[in-house]
Amino acid sequence: MKWLFSMNKLLCILLIFAFGFQSLQAQRYSKRQIRKDLEELPGFENAFIGFLLVDPAKRKPIFEQYADKHMTPGSTTKLFTIYGAMNHLPEVLPALEYTIKGDSLIFWSTGYPITLHLDQTDSTVVNFLKKTDKKLYYWPRPTEDSRFGPGWGWDDYPYYFGAEKSVFPIYGNSVKFILDNKNKTYTMSPEYRGFRVSVDSLYAERSSVTRDEFWNEFKIQFATNYDVDTITRAFHTSDALFTELLSNAVQKPVHTVEMEARPENHETLNGVVADSLYKWTLQDSDNLFAEQIMLMISGQQSDTLSTEQGISFTKTGTEVMQILSENIDLVWRDGSGLSRYNMFQPRALIFTLYLLGEKKLIPLLPRGGTSGTLKDWYGPYVYAKTGTLSNNHALVGFIQTDKGKTLQFVFIANHYTVPTSTIRKSMGVILEKIKKGS
């Protein structure tokens, strides 16, 4: 569904570009105090701190520091990804596409990421394929992407947050292990004979599951305690593995077939409501969901799934994004923010809040002390997307003040050497003062 943007929003953006930011003067928590805190709070003294605080009702910033400098955004990149999805994907997401020829059903992926997902499971595809009396043929849709995005950490491969992108994810491209440390037994989901599991004869203080990078060989080490631990590990994907896992799930053979392109006349099987996936993506900062959403965006325009094309469509797909891209250089390389090649200005990130809109975005975001990645941080007056890579942390969203205002902010700390928890606590000090003094 295309979003229609009011002339007020477009005019607001043009005015900001034309005249720059002008600061509001009278604040109980003054600019001088904010600047002093940004220099002196623990962890900030040796870090590169970008901060932008805006009162959208007055269309002016309250404070800015390095608002026009490119910085590492981490998972706040997902805000741009969700904006692209809301403009290019339908309100109900396509789970797969298919055509029927004689006694055969030929199907292919849309990039849809939650088929039999281990946490946000969806059985739409499996139920559909189970019910048909046709022979099943899968076309592996072409893709320009490799399993990982550019600039990702190579050693993240076994973890769910680094799960491999694929044309047709299944089970979240992951395996969930439940380890009973008392009885030294385990269960796994999905159970599949091709996943080879060995158990270390030695015990450790904490249980663990490791995996070979290029083979689906897992090694379990139980802990000396009596806890029951749940550990999710990504598996190494392939078209052959996908068809076998899907065949097991639908309890009938699934064959592969070659085609040059999607048939013009084909059917679409609908999956979940789009906002459900967007909320899961932002609340838990799910990297696989964000990457697959970007592939889904590209799939609306082309037979080939491509993150690069998805980003390009998002940059040029609406008039307001064209204006933004022409005036601000978005160094944007993936959908999730795992890439260290991504670089956004705080000023660019604040525009995602304008573009998405407070009423639309706040229900999707983590809430301080309540949900998602903010469950253990800040108070319920903060609604924001987090972004964390080693030595880099970002927070982008809204803060509701004691005076009844809803302010927008971008807070980025790059290149710090202290624990991230120290940075979060210092950010929290400033957010609390803004709540009380703005």
Q: Domain holding 305: CATH number?
A: 3.40.710.10
Rounded Cα distance, 79 and 332, in Å:
12
Confidence of residue 328 (pLDDT cuts 50, 70, 90): confident
Amino acid letter, 433 = K
Q: Which domain holds residue 207?
A: 93-272
Q: Is there a contact between 116 and 191 (Cβ–Cβ < 8 Å)?
A: no
- For the cut 70, the answer to whether the pLDDT of residue 351 exceeds it is yes
**Domain for residue 108, yes or no?**
yes
**Domain for residue 2, yes or no?**
no
341 and 428 share a domain? yes
**Domain for residue 215, yes or no?**
yes
Backbone φ, ψ for residue 208 (5° rounding): -155, 160
**Tell me: the pLDDT tens digits for 181-231?**
999 999 999 999 999 999 999 999 999 999 999 999 999 999 999 999 999
114 and 260 share a domain? yes
Show contacts of 193-197: CB within 8 Å, 24+ apart: 194/241, 194/244, 195/235
Mean pLDDT, residues 30-41? 96
Give the pTM.
0.92
Q: What is the pLDDT of residue 121?
A: 87
Matching residue, tokens 């003040």: 401
Q: What is the pLDDT of residue 52?
A: 98
359 and 286 share a domain? yes
- DSSP assignments along 205-240, one per residue: SS-EEEE-SSS-EEEEE-BSS--EEEEEEE----HH
- Average pLDDT, whole number, for the chain? 93
40 and 110 share a domain? no
Matching residue, tokens 């800015």: 64
71 and 103 share a domain? no
Q: What is the pLDDT of residue 321?
A: 85
Angle at which helix 78-88 crosses helix 307-316, to 10 degrees, equals 70
* Class of residue 10 by CB neighbours under 10 A (exposed 0-12, middle 13-18, buried 19+): middle
113 and 155 share a domain? yes
Return the percentage of the chain with pLDDT > 90, whole number: 88
**Domain for residue 45, yes or no?**
yes
Matching residue, tokens 């078209």: 239
Return the percentage of the chain with pLDDT > 70, whole number: 94
**Tell me: the pLDDT tens digits for 357-377?**
999 999 999 999 999 999 999
Select the more confidently predicted residue: 86 or 2: 86
Task: Tally the domains of the chain.
Answer: 2
Q: What is the pLDDT of residue 431?
A: 98
264 and 125 share a domain? yes
Of 272, 298, 333, which residue constitutes the final position of a domain?
272
Confidence of residue 13 (pLDDT cuts 50, 70, 90): low
**Domain for residue 234, yes or no?**
yes
Rounded Cα distance, 392 and 418, in Å:
10
**Domain for residue 1, yes or no?**
no
Mean pLDDT, residues 45-58? 95
**Domain for residue 255, yes or no?**
yes
**Tell me: the pLDDT tens digits for 186-198?**
999 999 999 999 9
Of 248, 272, 296, which residue constitutes the final position of a domain?
272
Q: Is there a contact between 31 and 342 (Cβ–Cβ < 8 Å)?
A: no
252 and 371 share a domain? no
123 and 255 share a domain? yes
177 and 245 share a domain? yes
**Domain for residue 19, yes or no?**
yes
398 and 259 share a domain? no
Q: What is the pLDDT of residue 322?
A: 84
Q: What is the pLDDT of residue 325?
A: 80
356 and 378 share a domain? yes
Confidence of residue 60 (pLDDT cuts 50, 70, 90): confident
Backbone φ, ψ for residue 188 (5° rounding): -140, 150
Q: What is the pLDDT of residue 9?
A: 53
Of 272, 290, 314, which residue constitutes the final position of a domain?
272
Q: Which of 147, 115, 104 is nearest to 257 (CA)?
A: 104
